[in-house]
Amino acid sequence: MREKSWREIPIGGIIEDAGNAETYETGSWRTYRPIWDPEKCIHCLACWIACPDSAILLEDGKMIGIDYAHCKGCGICAFECPDKISAIEMKIETDVND
């Protein structure tokens, strides 16, 4: 699929086609990045339920990672992670080495 130029994008961010949010990668402007520790995770999926960007990746009912192409760094996943677990920690994007 060809990427649209800025002139072709509808004014006001109108969503013309259902399910097209997947094609808009919005993670590049994030300030904070959620870092997931799979060793601590109990797979309660509170992060998945609360994530407004559907950036929590699941497989067979368990978390397997974070889709950083769509994660905006809001921190809701880290906030919803149980305090005793703290499997998701927010870090400043520029401090994270990929």
**Secondary structure letter of residue 80 according to DSSP:** H
Secondary structure (DSSP) of 43-78: ---HHHHH-TT--EEEETTEEEEE-TTT-----HHH
Predicted TM-score of the model (pTM):
0.76
pLDDT means over runs of 10, the chain (98 residues): 78 71 77 96 97 94 95 96 96 86
Identify the CA nearest to 55 among candidates 44, 42, 66, 40.
66
Domains identified in the chain and CATH numbers? 26-95 (3.30.70.20)
pLDDT at 13: 63
pLDDT at 72: 93
